[in-house]
Copies of this chain bind each other. A is one copy, B any other.
Amino acid sequence: MIGPEIETLINLLSRMPGLGPRSARRAVLHLVRKRESLLLPLADALQTARDSIVTCTTCGAIDTIDPCTICADPRRDDSVICVVEDVGDLWALERAKATKGRYHVLGGVLSALDGVGPEDLSLAGLKTRCDTGLVQEVILATNATVEGQSTAHYIMDMLKGSDVKVSRLAHGVPVGGELDYLDDGTLAEAMKSRTEF
């Protein structure tokens, strides 16, 4: 006995990651209660997103302009490209202010199980960017998973002919982490890559 418009809204919201049917209903009630401060701005923001969010044709990030803010920024270092799996990873690195270089979003990882091959990722675009002569270093910042690492190896092989330096993120103890809770692989890597104090 809920109106069809409200039902539709609940159904759509329940398909968002992190929300189920119950929390979608709570969300709708919350939206209706906070009409002025949340429902109206959110409806506007989604309209704007719908009309203006595009994928950057250079790096694959999402933004409201193409080329994206990072690709268009003249203060970024053209000689470094940081390769990430996904836009979320790019955002994480940007929040950490980890690099002043450019990015390249692969749009996934190689995965035989999921049927993702090299042609499904934006590898050709990466090769083209590396061949311009501007790029001196490619930082592989794929996730430290099996798929992420094998994708990194694939890219290293792909770039072997060119004179671009290929590096990857360091493995080690997370800042603030306790040794007792870390897995053996991380500890072994941290020991192997130990630095002078």
Number of copies: 2
Instruction: Please determine whether B49 and A6 come into contact, CB atoms closer than 8 angstroms.
Output: yes
Instruction: Please determine whether A46 and B39 come into contact, CB atoms closer than 8 angstroms.
Output: yes
Residue-wise interface mask of A (22-49) relative to B, using a CB-CB cutoff of 8 A (1 in contact, 0 not): 0101111111101100111111011111
Take A18-B23, A18-B26 as given contacts and tell me if A3 and B47 are in contact as well, using a CB distance cutoff of 8 Å: no
Number of interface residues of A (CB under 8 A): 53
Which of B6, B23, B68 touches A64 (beta carbons < 8 Å)?
B6
Task: Give Cα A88 to B3, complex, Å.
Answer: 14
> Chain A: residues with CB nearer than 8 A to chain B?
1-3, 5-6, 8-9, 12-13, 15-19, 23, 25-32, 34-35, 38-43, 45-50, 52-53, 55, 62-65, 68-70, 73, 86-88, 91, 94
